[in-house]
Amino acid sequence: MKSKQYQFNFKLVPSVLFLFFFIGFIRLGFWQLDRAEQKNILNDAYASRQSDSIIQLNDIGNVNDLNLLWKKVELKGSFKNEQNIILDNQIFQQTAGFNIITPFRISGTDWSVLVNRGWQENLNLRSLIPDIQLLKGEVVIGGSIVKFPVGGIVLGEENLEVINSSISRVQRVDIDKFSDFYSAKFLPYIIYLDPLLDSKYQSNFKLPAPDSDKNYGYSFQWFAFAFTLLIIFLSLGIKTRHVK
């Protein structure tokens, strides 16, 4: 009666290559898991800050404090309607558009803050100028304090394009450039309005580190690659022979 005997046919080069890629795939899988966990921690901190009491920005001493990030605020002041900014190349729901940003002078202080009034889909022609509503007088606004949004790549040295006497277009937020151009002292963050004051705009406010689910998906793919490679390596390396 014959029986099967299994034997692994060890070869140095294929084995070294297998170990190199197998360990690499495993490390990439755990790296993606770690990335997802970092995002979850950041988003949990965001949610906690959003649930805090609304801060009256006019009443606190250090408005320059970055510990205010992601907190909800109310503030009194006036919009600088002659200093509107179009932040170009802002993708929202897979659609190209731009944000309307207007500086806001905070009453009783020397500070101004950039206010994101909302997102609008690109107009049919780049030469068209959006109709930006004037927001006059002293008002009270509310919103969330957020890091400056990421803009597009700037080709060349010039970032700020003057369109007319009241509107400029930029590819990224450069607070030092804005401070010099508008002769104002800006806070190191931006406020996303909530609620919006312009019905034609949409809020593109989002979590500070969205899409942790993607990292879990990538992690699964890397682990699947490692498992598949292991099966292939064993299938090619294990030989059977019949013995009496």
Using the predicted structure, report yes or no on whether residue 167 has a pLDDT greater than 70. Answer: yes
User: Could you read off the pLDDT of 74-108 as tens digits, one per residue?
Assistant: 999 999 999 999 999 899 999 999 999 999 999 99
177 and 81: one domain?
yes
- What is residue 122's predicted lDDT score, i.e. its pLDDT? 94
Least confidently predicted of 4-8, 16-20, 221-225: 4-8
> Whole-angstrom Cα distance, residue 89 to residue 100?
12
Q: Which of the four pLDDT bands, split at 50, 70 and 90, describes residue 14? A: confident
36 and 75: one domain?
no
179 and 75: one domain?
yes
Q: Confirm whether 187 is domain-assigned.
A: yes
- The strand pairing partners of 206, in sequence order, are none
Tell me how many domains the chain contains: 2
Mean pLDDT of 154-161: 65
Backbone angles phi, psi at 198, to 5 degrees: -120, 120
Using the predicted structure, report yes or no on whether residue 123 has a pLDDT greater than 80. Answer: yes
> Whole-angstrom Cα distance, residue 3 to residue 76?
87
Closest CA to 144 of 84, 189, 109, 105: 189
32 and 97: one domain?
no
Q: Which domain holds residue 23?
A: 3-44+211-243
88 and 171: one domain?
yes
180 and 218: one domain?
no
150 and 227: one domain?
no
7 and 119: one domain?
no
88 and 134: one domain?
yes
